[in-house]
Amino acid sequence: MKPLLISIILLFVQVSVWADQVVNIIPQPLSVVKGESSFVVNSRTSLVFDKELEEVADYLLEYLPLDTKKQRKNNALRLKLDKELGKEEYKLTIHKKGIEIRGGDYGGVFNGIQSLLQILPPEVYAKHAEFPVEVPCVEIKDAPQYTYRGFLLDVARTFQPVDEVKRVLDYMAYCKLNKLHFHLVDSPGWRMEVKKYPHLAELGGYRGGDSPLHPIYGSFFQKYGGYYTQDQLREIVAYAAQRNIEVIPEIDMPGHSKSIGTVHPDIRCNYTPDTSYTNGMDLRDVWCVAKESNYQLIEDIVKEMVEIFPSEYIHIGGDEVSFKWWKECPDCQQLMKEKGLENAAQLEQYFINRVTDMLAKYTKKSMVWDEAVDGGLLPTTTMVTGWRGVKQCLQTTEQGYPTIIMPSSVFYLDKRQSPHEKGHSSRQGLSLQTICDFTFEDAGFSDAQRKNIAGIEGAFWSEIYLSNISPEGRFSDYLEYMLFPRLFGVSEVAWSKSRRSYEEMLQVLQGSFYDRLSALNATFRLASPVVKVEEGKIIASVEDGSKLYYKDIRTDQECEYREPLDAALAPYVTFQSRLMSGRSAEIGLPEYYTYLNPECTATSSLPFRENRSLDRCITYKGDATSTRAAKAGDWVEFKFKEVLDASYIKIITGYKHLFRRLIYNGHIEVSYDGQTFEEVGKLSNGLFVLRPQKGIHALRIVSDGISDAEEYVIIQPLEIK
């Protein structure tokens, strides 16, 4: 048989097999009816589209290089507007002679394109589509459950370059999410250029080095950060719009304002705060409600924002306001008396109502976090983002507020996915199953309350992001690991009236989407390996075909897992699986998470809170919290009753999951004789791992400078093996 003929036969077999695959679409459509034949897309297939759809046609051409010069009757892919379809509704039809996508509007056609891409081979996501491509005949009819399907990206805590923001927009588009809640301004940073006040971004966009903002979150010995110019923001808005995504900017006010308060101190209340416990740092993070100049400043900023963002809404925050600062402000207290305000929550609402009225002058509406309605003075036309919990979402929908449902226990994708992996604290972990199992019925929403649900939003807060950027400089790696596959779950809750179970979703992901994520070179999380001990051996296994590895924390060496290990290794080894661009969490047996609890005493030059004293550390019941920040020369000492023989000691200052409220500029000293101490190493992000070669009488944490840009330090119990 001739080589050319063999190649043609093999290609025919390949595309035919692909055409026989089950049609899996995420989020799950309303209707999928598969035909009995197929259509072959080739280099002569023409793209025909209504003139209003040129932008979406250009988007499709990035993934599928079709012929735009000829408009064939057959062998064509047609994009058409259909007034009989609703907003964002679409109908995708693949028949023997071509493909047609009809949409009720631009967004409907775009959504149809996303479903088509999911039917095509995975290589299309790498923009390496090779013709011919055979696709199964199918008819899909679909429309979203909610018009607001959002994702919050926090760039205030960790600045992300424009290309990385675009990458997130692409991921949103693949999931048919249509609102980017762009968290631009918070205490850690100001990320938006304001031409009238350039110092807000030029100074407030950076931390460390010569910046007036002290470093936080794990990048302590360099200047870091960034901000977006107005031209870059317009570029992001345009990129999003092509992908049917509206960008809703947020400036978090009146709290979460440490960055602007530091570089523009006039926004703060008119009194001198006590900084004796903060190494002289003014940590006030609220706008003064009583200063008229503040409202002029805000309006100046708003004027520039509305020229950049065409969105209907601007999010103005309102969460986690430290009312203690207003209680010390004579001007704010006087304003409360003049306006007849009963408490600080109502004072906050006075501020928010004034900003809302200001936005109305520019035909914009305000969005706020759910705390902002607690005082009872906000009109029920205010859009609320319900983050604190399902309880608060039930309350705001009961009160008549249109509410974006995003309780942190279900939709915060910065939370760890299982109890022992990286991410923000979560009792059992916020897994894909947590999202798939969420229902409004089980959550207790009545029919009346459900009428006030405006949509669904997932969120990624980026405190932990900065310290998890991979050594090779791949900025998206940690973010992607936290998003995928959970973002698919968020999209299905937001879009689909009839949703998959967790088991069904996992099957679809493994069968149809892991290879698509790999084509995108996107990191994704695999299910954790199953690890157990049987007959004196550690046995690890996976069910997804991934390859297993194990690592010994005593040596930090990693090996491929090929056969069962001795059970004596259980306290020291973790296991991880890898497949394509995916990886699992590193997990261990219960013995790995169990530590020695030797009897010891603890003393310190730092004062500690009565209810969170160092006794919590030496009884191994929890962390200890000081009453002030550490200074150079401060120390914490652990002295063991008996000489400690250990192979591994992890010393942790700050939170376990987050590089914050720690001693970042410091070192560890060890005493081997109970009398003299010698330095054994420097703290790195508040941490140090000691692998002693002989018995230890005592160890000491010593601060070599200021502890952190915080008002206190946390000390964790020693982790000893």
What average pLDDT does this structure show over 123-133? 91
Lowest mean pLDDT among 148-152, 463-467, 673-677: 463-467
Pick from 215, 251, 246: nearest CA to 87: 246
Helix H or strand E segment including 493: helix 486-495
What pLDDT does residue 139 have? 98
Q: What is the DSSP string of 395-457?
A: HHHHTT--EEE--HHHHBTTB-SSTTSSSB--SS---HHHHHH--HHHHT--HHHHTTEEEEE
Structure token digits, residue 50: 């209504």
The DSSP letter of residue 280 is T
Tens of pLDDT, residue by residue over 280-318, are: 999 999 999 999 999 999 999 999 999 999 999 999 999
In percent, how much of the chain has pLDDT > 90? 91
What pLDDT does residue 473 have? 61
Tens of pLDDT, residue by residue over 700-709, are: 999 999 888 8
Specify the residue for token string 């493994």.
510
What average pLDDT does this structure show over 526-546? 96
Q: State the Cα–Cα distance between residues 514 and 580, nearest whole angstrom.
A: 8
What average pLDDT does this structure show over 546-558? 95
What pLDDT does residue 691 have? 94
The mean pLDDT of the chain is 94
What pLDDT does residue 450 have? 97
Whether the full predicted model's pTM is greater than 0.85, yes or no, is: yes
Q: State the Cα–Cα distance between residues 505 and 521, nearest whole angstrom.
A: 21
What pLDDT does residue 13 have? 42
- The residue type found at 293 is S
Q: State the Cα–Cα distance between residues 140 and 145, nearest whole angstrom.
A: 16
Cβ proximity of 436 and 505 under 8 Å: yes
Tens of pLDDT, residue by residue over 53-110, are: 999 999 999 999 999 988 888 999 999 999 999 999 999 999 999 999 999 999 999 9
Cβ proximity of 347 and 335 under 8 Å: yes
- Confidence bin at 625 (pLDDT 50/70/90): very high
Cα separations in angstroms, 147 against 404, 457, 645: 11, 11, 61
The DSSP letter of residue 467 is G
Angle between helices 230-242 and 292-308 (to 10 degrees): 50
Beta bridge partners of 248: 181
Characterize 341-367 residue by residue with b for buried, 16 or more Cβ atoms within 10 angstroms of its Cβ, and e for exposed: beebbbbbbbbbeebbebbeeeebebb
Characterize 637-662 residue by residue with b for buried, 16 or more Cβ atoms within 10 angstroms of its Cβ, and e for exposed: bbbbeeebebebbbbbbbbebbbbbb
Q: What is the DSSP string of 348-404?
A: HHHHHHHHHHHHHHTT-EEEEEGGGGTTS-S-TTSEEEE-S-HHHHHHHHHTT--EE
Structure token digits, residue 41: 């897309």
Q: State the Cα–Cα distance between residues 685 and 108, nearest whole angstrom.
A: 48
| β 224-225/206-207 pair status | antiparallel
pLDDT over threshold 60, residue 10 = no
- Neighbour count for residue 671 (Cβ, 10 Å): 17
Greater pLDDT, 466 or 11:
466
The region that residue 473 occupies, defined by phi over 0 for left and psi between -120 and 50 for alpha, beta otherwise, is left
Tens of pLDDT, residue by residue over 445-461, are: 999 999 999 999 999 99
What average pLDDT does this structure show over 168-184? 98
- The residue type found at 218 is G
Lowest mean pLDDT among 191-195, 242-246, 427-431, 490-494: 427-431
- The residue type found at 512 is S
Angle between helices 344-361 and 292-308 (to 10 degrees): 40
In percent, how much of the chain has pLDDT > 70? 97
Structure token digits, residue 468: 């998890």
What pLDDT does residue 233 have? 98
Structure token digits, residue 363: 């035909």
With 0-12 CB in 10 A as exposed, 13-18 as middle and 19+ as buried, what is 471? exposed
Cβ proximity of 416 and 430 under 8 Å: yes
What average pLDDT does this structure show over 637-651? 97
- In Å, how far from its chain's centre is CA 477? 12
Contacts of 95 (CB under 8 A, 6+ apart): 35, 37, 39, 137
- Neighbour count for residue 277 (Cβ, 10 Å): 15
Q: State the Cα–Cα distance between residues 683 and 636, nearest whole angstrom.
A: 13
Structure token digits, residue 662: 């720690």
Cβ proximity of 482 and 175 under 8 Å: no
What pLDDT does residue 676 have? 97
What pLDDT does residue 19 have? 53
Q: State the Cα–Cα distance between residues 154 and 680, nearest whole angstrom.
A: 38
Strand ranges (E), 45-89: 46-49, 76-81
How far the first Cα of the chain sits from its last, in Å, is 66
Specify the residue for token string 């070599």.
704
Q: State the Cα–Cα distance between residues 683 and 654, nearest whole angstrom.
A: 12
Beta bridge partners of 436: none
Cβ proximity of 160 and 464 under 8 Å: no
Tens of pLDDT, residue by residue over 246-264, are: 999 999 999 999 999 999 9
Lowest mean pLDDT among 186-200, 241-255, 455-469: 455-469
pLDDT over threshold 80, residue 12 = no
Q: State the Cα–Cα distance between residues 312 and 584, nearest whole angstrom.
A: 40
What pLDDT does residue 427 have? 74
Greater pLDDT, 22 or 36:
36
Q: State the Cα–Cα distance between residues 548 and 538, nearest whole angstrom.
A: 13
Domains and CATH numbers, the chain: 11-142 (3.30.379.10), 148-522 (3.20.20.80), 530-592 (2.60.40), 600-720 (2.60.120.260)
Tens of pLDDT, residue by residue over 276-289, are: 999 999 999 999 99
What pLDDT does residue 14 have? 43
Q: State the Cα–Cα distance between residues 692 and 672, nearest whole angstrom.
A: 10
What pLDDT does residue 16 have? 44
